[in-house]
Amino acid sequence: MFCVKKNPQYTFDSFLAVKDTLDDLDNPFLVEVLSNLSKEDWGEMHRRLQPFANKLSTSWRATVNEIARPENHPKLRQYDAYNRRIDRIVRPAEALKLTEEVFGEGLFSMKQLTYEGIMKRYLLHGNGEAGITCPVACTDGLIELIEAFYEEVPNEVKEIHTHAKEGIDGNFAIGAQFMSEIQGGSNIPANLLEAVPMDTHYLLYGNKFFCSAVHADYSVVTAKIEGTENIAVFVVPSYLPGDKEKELRNGYRINRLKWKLGTSELPSGEIDYEGAVAYRIGPEDRGVALAVGIVLTRSRLDIGFASAAFVMRAAREAKLYARFRHVFDRTIDGFPMAAAQLEELEGAAKRMTATAFHLYKMFLEQDDYDELQQFALRELILLQKIYAAKELSIIYGWQYPFSAGMVQ
């Protein structure tokens, strides 16, 4: 009789025993980069980063693995049992808890040391996007945008700023940014979403076609002001005060969630606005400059950090695996060409990490630069984003993603 031979003795246990206790801060190169940046604050910074790194390398990592499973991806429930339109984004309990815990860290709070928030965000990226880091980057953009015009925004927007930055009763707001429309994502000046002026605010009418973090509390939205060619930028609450409990959205419907190959834990939707209350931020005709200069510049920096952290984790785990796995007569790292590949991976991780933090330091110090240097820095941020994403895609063996998502 034909008998299938199995090898029940084969186990990955010794690899997993090491991998599962890998602490992302137990990394001499990273520690050198971070300590150089924080200088005299390093002692206190390390005391704050260590428990964060412990959590994300253990319980959060296990949660992230769980919510990445296809059966746990977000879903859209448009109606409740009584035929009321709710457009609820249904996410697993693990994702809700993780979101609450990460945002509860108050990454943008004034209580953080300089660089603390960004160091924690770099560490967070080591766990993948996980439905977390895109909303974190968007919240950063939301806060920065409001701060640029803080003195002139209405009280409702000041309240949104507090909610996102310092939290209200322990609850921290999540931000999103909706700019892409079906006729062209890169081309924000071609936006057709219409903003109709009212006394103290605007009402939005039209469609946004790629809205990630659609579960957010507030979004930064670009739209054309009625009867003009001016694109302005707005902050739009997902619910008006008192309506969240009733699941009554602020004058918009979520038509569907995108089916995506990557970042599937992150709900990305298509939205129809039917009179959503929106608060304009900044001048009527500066929306594109503000969206790119403030909001997207921060997202670009974040893509540099994300690419670096992905490669760092991949390099560390690949090295461990190559030390564990036997092929022919030796472990993988015993083959010179494989060892060279691992070295290359580690080199890329270090290069990308050091560059991302260096650029961020320049970004924070840019007030000391002249106009030309500031322009050069903006270019550098854009180039670094493109190059880091390209390097990441080569390392992971993906085709360079020329298509969607690359232009911003």
Ligand X SMILES: Cc1cc2nc3c(=O)[nH]c(=O)nc-3n(C[C@H](O)[C@H](O)[C@H](O)COP(=O)(O)OP(=O)(O)OC[C@H]3O[C@@H](n4cnc5c(N)ncnc54)[C@H](O)[C@@H]3O)c2cc1C
Which residues sit at the interface with ligand X, rule CB under 6 A?
177-180, 184-187, 210-212, 260, 263, 268, 402-408
Contact 239, 248 (CB under 8 A): yes
Q: Name the residue whose CB lies closest to ligand X.
A: 185
Which CB atom, from 33 or from 295, has the smaller least distance to ligand X? 295
Contact 243, 250 (CB under 8 A): yes
Which CB atom, from 25 or from 211, has the smaller least distance to ligand X? 211
Which CB atom, from 79 or from 400, has the smaller least distance to ligand X? 400
C-alpha closest to that of 379 among 357, 359, 355: 359
Contact 195, 280 (CB under 8 A): yes
Shortest distance, position 288 Cβ to ligand X, whole Å: 13
Shortest distance, position 289 Cβ to ligand X, whole Å: 16
Give the C-alpha separation, 330 to 341, whole Å.
Answer: 17
Dihedral sign computed on CA atoms, order 197, 198, 200, 202: negative
Which CB atom, from 225 or from 295, has the smaller least distance to ligand X? 295
Helices then strands, counting H and E runs in the chain, come out as 12, 11
Give the C-alpha separation, 202 to 274, whole Å.
Answer: 12
Contact 381, 363 (CB under 8 A): yes
Residues 6+ apart with CB under 8 A from 261: none
Shortest distance, position 405 Cβ to ligand X, whole Å: 3
Residues 6+ apart with CB under 8 A from 265: 67, 68, 72, 73, 74, 95, 129, 130, 131
Which CB atom, from 55 or from 253, has the smaller least distance to ligand X? 253
Which CB atom, from 292 or from 342, has the smaller least distance to ligand X? 292
Shortest distance, position 257 Cβ to ligand X, whole Å: 12
Shortest distance, position 164 Cβ to ligand X, whole Å: 17
Shortest distance, position 266 Cβ to ligand X, whole Å: 7
